[in-house]
Amino acid sequence: MQEWLKSLPAKTRDKCVLKLGLLKEFGHELRRPHADFLRDGIYELRAKQGRVNHRILYFFFGGSAVVISHGLIKEDRVPAADIESALDRKRSFQEEPEQHMFIWEGEL
């Protein structure tokens, strides 16, 4: 995820980081236009720069932890393959959470 963020243009990266900050602050309460539920416990953060839609897929673990799966550029809909990838990561995380921990402090 960090590498994907670093690869984005500065303005886009700033918007995505802003959305991550909103997610950190509001958690389950964050809704459209900033976030949306996709399916099976997978959510998306929504950031738009010009005509390009950027999405960050995530899920919740326990009462308050947010786990970021990955980021992507969305054309029409979030591709099913990306949702499946997030679901695979969710299953893997749930099996061994300590192996996948990274505490994001808001800086890249």
Query: pLDDT tens across 5-55, in order?
Result: 999 999 999 999 999 999 999 999 999 999 999 999 999 999 999 999 999
Q: What is the DSSP letter of 33?
A: T
Amino acid identity, position 72: L
- Cα–Cα distance for residue pair 90/78, rounded to 1 Å: 17
Number of domains in the chain: 1
Q: Is residue 71 part of a domain?
A: yes
Question: Using one digit for the tens of pLDDT, what is the confidence trace for 73-91?
Answer: 998 899 999 999 999 999 9
- Cα–Cα distance for residue pair 99/45, rounded to 1 Å: 24
At residue 1 the predicted structure's pLDDT band, cuts being 50, 70 and 90, is confident
pTM assigned to the model: 0.88
Q: How many CB atoms lie within 10 A of CB 96?
A: 9
Two structure tokens written together for 14: 């700033």
Q: Is residue 42 part of a domain?
A: yes
Range of the domain at 40: 2-100
Q: Is residue 74 part of a domain?
A: yes
CATH number at residue 89: 3.30.2310
